[in-house]
Amino acid sequence: MLENIKKNFPKNILKWTIICLLVGIFSGVSSAIFLLSLEFVTKIRENNFGIIALLPIGGLLIGLLYHYYGKEVVKGNNLILEEYENPKKIIPLKMAPLVLIGTLLTHLFGGSAGREGTAVQMGTAISDQFTKIFKLDASERKTILIIGISAGFASIFGTPLTGAIFAVEVLYFSKINLKSIIPSFAVAYISYFTVEFLQIKHTHYHIPFVPEIDFRNFIWIILCGILFGFAALAFSRTTHFWGKIFSYILFPPLRPFIGGLILAVIIFSFDVKKYIGLGIPTIVESFENQSGNIDFLLKILFTGFTLGAGFKGGEVTPLFFVGATLGSALSAFVPLPIALLAGMGFVAVFSGATHTPIACTIMGIELFGINCGIYIGIACVVAYFCSGTTGIYHSQIVKGPKFMLYEKIRRKNLKNL
């Protein structure tokens, strides 16, 4: 058996090198096209505010596309998690163009959504095709799904280290094969450098001053982390709530149509433009000026409603918005720099909503620098523990330290009854 492993080792190295190169390049190119297209449709919407009146039509188009051509991929990221845990069949390549079109329509007409879900789904749909081409076994297919997640995440946000770790951590309690870790890192950097080579720019954030850590600041980090965890929980439950409400509409294409109609009326009736689309200008501003006290709540409501109605996109950038604006608003009474609080919230709410504190800590360091690592890390861990077991992904398996803590509390409460 040992001789067989030695004999196949060079062949396996070559195979996975080719796979990582192809997945990284294809995912990077698809993310670059997506980012350019997203910027294009966003500018059209910003320069033609009246186009929001077509939001229900855009929703209907998305609904019809998925109802007649994409029923098997409508679950999006949850399908990827389910296929990893219980493999059934290769993810159809059509997931990539469908989610791309759906997300662009959502942003063109004024829906509140993100972009990571789109990139991850495109990356995974591309990577899973190599399962057939290279005739991979069940264990190798798990690696394929991991590198698809890694490639999509790393290329869309320009954070390769985070992408590699996120892909592993979001699936951590689903029997991760350690052999998957090296390909995850390799493909993350390949996809990242592909986007860089194509000269696609990512948004940059800056935290100019980080104070020394002391007992008082430590307490403030804990308190803020608790609030960030509650915000993550509110975001996840709001999205699931609206998804359940819209499920009572029996004909699926009507869900985004009705949702789009309601959103369009609200957008035209109130000054809520900064809560639609990605909201990146508001995120950037939150690092410099104190955000409004309810900015984060309104973004939760708009994004939860948009995604729950059946529009396409992602949750992560809206989570950044929620966290950054909440952290910025807390600067009114928390004696920490506004940019640091915004940065802490930026990644900590994401940590709580995806149960990935390690990846989010790394993301904070990649985006904001090593100096704020302690603040970021503590906030992410606290938010992780305070966000409950509900996350943005229905199909994610939540175990580990958080699960054990909540299970211990539950058993204790049952014992006391």
User: Mind listing the domains of the chain with CATH numbers?
Assistant: 2-197 (1.10.3080.10), 215-403 (1.10.3080.10)
Average confidence (pLDDT) over 359-379: 96
Give the confidence band of 1 by pLDDT, cuts at 50, 70, 90: very low
Predicted pLDDT of residue 398: 67
HEC readout, 225-257: HHHHHHHHHHHHHHHHHHHHHHCCCCCCCHHHH
Q: Residue type for 128, please? A: D
Average confidence (pLDDT) over 19-27: 97
Q: Mean pLDDT of all residues in the chain?
A: 92
Give the confidence band of 8 by pLDDT, cuts at 50, 70, 90: low
Predicted pLDDT of residue 390: 82
Percent residues over pLDDT 70 in the chain = 91
Predicted pLDDT of residue 407: 57
Total residues found in the chain within this entry: 417
Whether the per-residue pLDDT at 414 is higher than 90: the answer is no
Least confident of 7-21, 201-215, 248-262, 337-351: 7-21
Q: Find the radius of gyration of the CA atoms of the chain.
A: 21
**Residue 104 and residue 306: Cα distance in Å, rounded?**
14
pLDDT digits 0-9 by tens, 258-303: 999 999 999 999 999 999 999 999 999 999 999 999 999 999 999 9
pLDDT digits 0-9 by tens, 199-208: 998 888 989 9
Cβ atoms within 10 Å of 287's Cβ, excluding its own: 23
Predicted pLDDT of residue 233: 96
Pairwise pLDDT comparison (7 vs 374), residue with the higher score: 374
Predicted pLDDT of residue 87: 87
DSSP H helix total and E strand total for the chain: 17, 0
Average confidence (pLDDT) over 205-223: 95
Give the confidence band of 134 by pLDDT, cuts at 50, 70, 90: very high
Predicted pLDDT of residue 4: 47
Whether the per-residue pLDDT at 192 is higher than 70: the answer is yes
pLDDT digits 0-9 by tens, 88-131: 899 999 999 999 999 999 999 999 999 999 999 999 999 999 99
Q: Specify whether the CB–CB gap between 278 and 313 falls below 8 A.
A: no
Q: Write the burial class of residue 230 (CB in 10 Å: 0-12 exposed, 13-18 middle, 19+ buried).
A: middle
**Residue 230 and residue 69: Cα distance in Å, rounded?**
38
User: Tokens in use for 279?
Assistant: 């909201």
Between the CA of residue 103 and those of 100, 202, 215, what are the distances in Å? Answer: 5, 18, 45
Predicted pLDDT of residue 180: 85
Predicted pLDDT of residue 394: 79
Give the confidence band of 68 by pLDDT, cuts at 50, 70, 90: very high
pLDDT digits 0-9 by tens, 31-49: 999 999 999 999 999 999 9
Average confidence (pLDDT) over 27-31: 97
Predicted pLDDT of residue 2: 39
pLDDT digits 0-9 by tens, 310-355: 999 989 999 999 999 999 999 999 999 999 999 999 999 999 999 9
pLDDT digits 0-9 by tens, 230-240: 999 999 999 99
Predicted pLDDT of residue 5: 44
Phi/psi class of residue 369: alpha, beta or left (left: φ > 0; alpha: ψ in -120 to 50)? left
Whether the per-residue pLDDT at 172 is higher than 90: the answer is no
User: Tokens in use for 51?
Assistant: 């186009």
Give the confidence band of 388 by pLDDT, cuts at 50, 70, 90: confident
Sign of CA dihedral 185, 189, 195, 198: negative
**Residue 235 and residue 321: Cα distance in Å, rounded?**
11
User: Tokens in use for 236?
Assistant: 């996840």
Identify the H or E element spanning 24: helix 2-47
DSSP 3-state assignment of 192?
helix
